[in-house]
A and B are shown apart, each in its own frame.
Chain A
């Protein structure tokens, strides 16, 4: 029996090749053009892993930062930690079952990722949704938008080092999710929209809570925003950070507040009206600066518009049924349908193909967070590591939607 030889530091098979140094895992050999560029380190550059367990990445995201000193030269987001394969799941489940599977995609504003698939199934089936149901959808949707923007306000301040705003904004958010829990039974993953309507009418608890809240919401929300809007530390930190110009925003397929903060007045509620939005009066806030501050302020403007919409919904809401009459088992005729809704983060859309069975042949889910995370790679280079969080948080991606 021979004694095993001790590994020697001179053994070439045990030394790490130079261009792998600093990374904890070997780089796959087949590299794309972009990877070759990214992993070719110049003098003074090093790679740094941020995440997947990092509080500022808003979920399970890993970012490989290429840094030179304190400056970010380039970065490569690594996705997939939350990937469930929801499109494959959808291809193998009943049309009704899909809705509950889609909720966790956008766990901050989950009504919106239900909305667009439900709309496209209704197009496939040629169903007319009752008007009351449409109003309820808009009402709950706008409430959810406010809740989402309030969470953004809190998280953004937290990422920049301010603790107070999240305590204030969570109080508002909590009131809204309690309200929604009164009709949906859930505070986070609502599973409320149904093909042809909504699951249950507005009830007394919801209405009394909403009436209560609406009487003071305006002032309370302004107070919460006031913590940051005129806060000199915050404004000076966020102004001019991560500037996204109009052309780049369109080229990068940015949507929602991030696109409007760059001067494109594109809002699907007006650009391609759906539901009862044509009957409601509201403005599309737009800003030209395209920096982090503009993105923040634009979301706060949207909150004010959402309050207007909620108020109108309450006044205009008709009586009637909240569900269309539909069979239990849905078999849409073969065809294709696409529908898009404007969520708090941008365009949620869905492309559904039916082949005549009770399961969709293909369901494509499009989530804005995915494209906004891609923007991070464009806006970050040249900034300091500490600004990665400030920029990423101002784009407001939700990892559930990014990873699907």
Chain B
């Protein structure tokens, strides 16, 4: 844990932070609003004290109540991984600015997050499904998408025929429906 780095993040992004900067093992975590992503990322990338040039990962997360987009960044100035969590993306309006203007390589990772969660990245020029066929209608990594053996629990009385499996509706549900917020 790099305490000095934590202080630096708190100093640089005082008002943008929506929660405390947390540290565990070799990770430092900061939470921001989804609308602030471009500005925060630009500062992280360009500021000579931060120099986060390397994007390690971009992940969508469904917390059961809303969505998050989680970025992992690496820089020479700290031995920690920096995790930036864009928190509280509403389920009915899952929109977040794209970061392809900084990392063009995030384009496919954002396409994947769109494919799996339905997150709309504004500014991504190629936001379409990447793994699943274009006709697919639902977003499989959402917590309200149940695996076929759990189709009887799915809202709306089952999933669409294409995603459905030949499982009887009265089959025992083996998956636990998890909507608890992972904090």
| Residue positions of A touching B, CB distance < 8 A | 28, 32-35, 79-80, 83, 85, 87-88, 91-92, 123, 250-254, 266, 271-272, 334-338, 340, 347, 349, 351, 353-355, 357, 359, 361-362, 364, 366, 370-371, 374-375, 378, 403-404
Contact = CB atoms under 8 A, between A and B. Distances in A.
Most buried by B among A35, A351, A371: A351
Interface of B: 24-27, 29, 53-57, 59, 61-62, 70, 72, 74, 79, 81, 83, 102-109, 112, 116, 125-128, 130-134, 140-141, 147, 174-176, 178, 180, 182-183
**What DSSP secondary structure best describes chain A's contact surface?**
mixed
A278 B116 CA distance: 37
Contacts of B182: 334, 336, 353-355, 361-362
B126 A252 contact: no
Nearest to A33: B125
A239 B104 CA distance: 26
Contacts of A88: 140-141, 147
A195 to B, nearest CB: 15
Most buried by B among A347, A364, A371, A374: A364
A370 to B, nearest CB: 6
Contacts, number: 119
Closest 3 CB pairs of A and B: A253-B105, A34-B126, A364-B59
Contacts of A79: 130-131
Given A88-B141, A272-B79, A32 B128 contact: yes
A32 B134 CA distance: 12
Contact of A272 (B74, B107, B130): B74
Given A266-B54, A351-B57, A87 B105 contact: no
A378 to B, nearest CB: 8
A28 B134 contact: yes
Contact of A351 (B59, B126, B176): B59
A349 B105 contact: no
A354 B182 CA distance: 7
B141 A251 contact: no
B29 A336 contact: yes
Contacts of A357: 176, 178
A252 B24 CA distance: 29
Given A272-B74, A404-B131, A374 B105 contact: yes
B54 A338 contact: no
A66 B104 CA distance: 21
A253 B128 contact: no
Contact of B83 (A28, A338, A378): A338
Contacts of A375: 105
Contacts of B74: 271-272
A355 B180 contact: yes
A364 B27 CA distance: 16
